[in-house]
Amino acid sequence: MNQTTTSQTDSYHQPVMVEEVTSLFAETTGLIVDATFGGGGHSRALLESNPRLLILGIDRDPDAMSLARAGIDDPRVHLVAANFGDLGKILAQEVPDGDFFGALFDLGVSSHQLDTADRGFSYHSSGPLDMRMGPDATHSAADIVNRWSADEIARILREYGEERFAWRIANAIVKGRPVVDTLQLASLVADAVPAAARRRKHPARRTFQAIRIAVNGELAALAAGLDAALNAVRPGGRVVVISYHSLEDRIVKRRFVAGATDCTCPPDLPVCVCDTAAELRLMTRKATRPGPVEIENNPRARSALLRAVEKVAS
């Protein structure tokens, strides 16, 4: 990648735990799928640290793809505009020979998405109620906020935001309609929660997370994309995931642990009858977190959790 790309992608999004990611792929030779290409920061670091790699970069965000296609000048990189939830189909089209040695998922919202008010992801600035990561999203945040019932809104706030005041917030949103922008939504949420809750983290944080996840179908896409990567990667290949909240991390942890488990028989059976063999080896027994220096330099890295596995069987 050229110098222009380096400066552009650094401003687009500052990648998290780059040293940890490059270390995990240090001995890899062949194709790595960067399933959340974004500004290309992780891919650039991987290529600089290991010249034996090729990158298949995937992103559903048109802004990310536009920047990447305009700035990347490296024959080792091939880009596909798509949702990583469709990774199985993407691999069948782009890697028909199955020569696939690893995958990286850096989940969540990019710095560019958060900092661009017109995208509607931030509760700190005025913007449209959008939150779509790509044109494949079937509805926007405005559809949820202004059309869904209080019961439906409360459900996603509980399930996707783990919001304890879900019902109060949902009622406030419905009563405050029409909600025209992100600042109005954030204000409605703040007014709906007790004063004590407003003194900690921003009271709209969980609500915006829940609506964003619902808009983009993020958890279903993660489960599907992760399964596709683990099923397709060659033995010896690695899958690395960086998540930013407990819902994502729970999906990743459970899938990795399940794949790394041998016998699944009930514990009271004297002999194994399931003949289940572990397909994965855990590279991280516990989630890896950024160090204090990285968090100081990039506060948005604070909530990041990295987990990694190696494929040991087909």
Query: So what's the pLDDT on residue 267?
Result: 73
For 76, phi and psi rounded to 5 degrees? -80, -5
* pLDDT higher than threshold 70 for residue 7: no
pLDDT digits over 32-66, tens only? 999 999 989 999 999 999 999 999 999 999 999 99
CB-based contact 98:234 (threshold 8 Å): yes
Query: So what's the pLDDT on residue 293?
Result: 97
Query: So what's the pLDDT on residue 187?
Result: 97
* 190 plus 247 within the same structural domain: no
pLDDT digits over 61-87, tens only? 999 999 888 878 899 999 999 999 999
* 148 plus 66 within the same structural domain: no
What integer best gives the mean pLDDT of the chain?
A: 92
Query: So what's the pLDDT on residue 251?
Result: 98
Which residue range forms the structural domain that includes residue 245?
3-112+218-311
pLDDT digits over 151-180, tens only? 999 999 999 999 999 999 999 999 999 999
* 176 plus 294 within the same structural domain: no
| Secondary structure in 3-state letters for the chain | CCHHHHHHHHHHCCCCCHHHHHHHCCCCCEEEEECCCCCCHHHHHHHHHCCCEEEEEEECCHHHHHHHHHHCCCCCEEEEECCHHHHHHHHHHHCCCCCCCEEEEECCCCHHHHHCHHHCCCCCCCCCCCCCCCCCCCCCHHHHHHHCCHHHHHHHHHHHHCCCCHHHHHHHHHHCCCCCCHHHHHHHHHHHCCHHHHCCCCCCHHHHHHHHHHHHCHHHHHHHHHHHHHHHCCCCCEEEEEECCHHHHHHHHHHHHHHCCCCCCCCCCCCCCCCCCCCEEECCCCCECCCHHHHHHCHHHCCCEEEEEEECCC
* pLDDT higher than threshold 50 for residue 218: yes
**Is 288 domain-assigned?**
yes
Q: What's the pLDDT band for 266 if we cut at 50, 70, 90?
A: confident
CA 207 from centre of chain:
17
pLDDT digits over 114-155, tens only? 889 999 999 999 999 999 999 999 999 999 999 999 999 999
CATH of the domain at 184: 1.10.150.170
CATH of the domain at 42: 3.40.50.150
Global pTM value? 0.92
* pLDDT higher than threshold 80 for residue 271: no
Query: So what's the pLDDT on residue 13?
Result: 64
**Cα 90 from Cα 84, distance rounded (Å):** 8
* pLDDT higher than threshold 90 for residue 186: yes
* pLDDT higher than threshold 50 for residue 4: no
**Is 212 domain-assigned?**
yes
* 46 plus 192 within the same structural domain: no
**Is 125 domain-assigned?**
no
